[in-house]
Amino acid sequence: MLVNHQQYRTIWTSPVFGQGFSTELRTVEVIDQTKLPHVFEIAKIGNLQQMITAIKTMQVRGAPLIGAAAAYGVALATQQDSGDEYLQLAAKLLVQSRPTAVNLRWSVQRMLSVLLPLPVADRVRAAWAEAALICDEDILLNQAIGAHGLDLIRALYLKKSSTIHILTHCNAGWLATVDFGTALAPIYAAHDAGIDVHVWVGETRPRNQGASLTAWELGQHGVPHTVISDNAGGHLMQQGQVDMVIVGADRVTATGDVCNKIGTYLKALAAFDSSQSGHQVPFYAAVPSPTIDWAIEDGIQHIEIEERDGDELAWMSGRLADGTMATVNILPHGTKVANPAFDVTPARLVTGIITEQGVFAPNQLKTMKR
């Protein structure tokens, strides 16, 4: 997608120069998402440890992008040591860096299954190729998600004949993927198809990915949007000001439970409850099929919820009135904070899962091609 009128992906590689004959050595570059929306900055990632740090500190975030980043993490590891033992260790460390993201485990496992059968000497080159393939596949998946989601939006638009208001939570836009996004892919597709869409962007405390990332990328693409506090979503749905909800997901269970950024469950409850005030707000999660964890049936019981550092809530970054960046602590001294990063929306509240294969009701998910 475009940044300052220039085409970008969220992650790419470049050759390491001045390394003698080892011309296959590469570094990874990413858009540093911890700096957005205030500063657009590229971070260079030269080894496995730096990639783990980039994932943990959320310089890269969003389930599909984390998967791509982890694949590149394995590729970087092969440059350090291509032996089985080190790659197994690298895989383990990468998987531990964000426990909730199923794409991460999926892509690391895929990298190992490609690399371990190969002679050690062939692994570096193969690793870079496979990681690049994972990225290209992500883009194709997202474009297909966009097309299927566009059908849903178009159907609503044909019925309503005026602005379609879509509420989203967190950032499942192109910044969360390699390109195009998951939850936002249908929105970009609709906007580009000339459908009048407007996006309610939930701020998404504590890390504000909605207010900072989603608002920023929609703005860069020219999609009309309005930021709201996370608290406002229920009121807007109750008042008939939302036509549909589309979120991403870090994991979807085989039964259609949706594990996504903390607060998603509350939006799903409000969408479900909107029928009580005479509205019908469908609730969709948009995910590529690798996000579906076929091993889990009951998400509420069996998905481990990552508890992140309370400082994420306590400290807020932004621009001072003079434009310089600053970070402030908003809490009374010594206040205890709990920071569960995800929640699980039970399938009974989910209208459908938008995937690259089409839109599935939760109880039809198992009919998907795996």
- Work out whether the CA dihedral 34, 38, 42, 46 comes out positive or negative: negative
Residue 203: CB minimum distance to its own copies, A? 6
The answer to whether 250 is a known catalytic residue is yes
Question: Packing angle between helix 123-160 and helix 185-192, nearest 10 degrees?
Answer: 60
* Calpha distance 75→335 (Å, rounded): 42
Judged by beta carbon, residue 130 or residue 203, the one nearer its own copies is 203
* Calpha distance 233→87 (Å, rounded): 44
Judged by beta carbon, residue 19 or residue 163, the one nearer its own copies is 163
Residue 45: CB minimum distance to its own copies, A? 25
Displacement of CA 261 from its chain's centroid (Å): 9
DSSP 174: G
Judged by beta carbon, residue 58 or residue 300, the one nearer its own copies is 300
Binding site for its own copies (CB under 8 A): 37-38, 200, 203-206, 208, 211-212, 215-216, 219, 225-236, 238-239, 261-263, 265-267, 269-270, 273, 276-277, 300, 305, 310, 313, 315-321, 325-332, 334-340, 342-344, 346, 348
E strand or H helix at 235, and its extent?
helix 232-238
Judged by beta carbon, residue 226 or residue 367, the one nearer its own copies is 226
* Calpha distance 22→45 (Å, rounded): 18
For residue 31, give Cα distances in angstroms to 12, 77, 78, 151, 175.
9, 21, 23, 31, 8
SS3 159: helix
Q: 99: cis peptide before it, omega within 30°?
A: no
CA angle at residue 292 from 108 to 106, to 5 degrees? 5
Residue 339: CB minimum distance to its own copies, A? 7
Q: Of residues 138, 243, 250, 343, which has the active-site annotation?
A: 250
Q: 37: cis peptide before it, omega within 30°?
A: yes
Residue 286: CB minimum distance to its own copies, A? 19
Judged by beta carbon, residue 119 or residue 332, the one nearer its own copies is 332
Residue 234: CB minimum distance to its own copies, A? 4
Catalytically annotated residues: 250
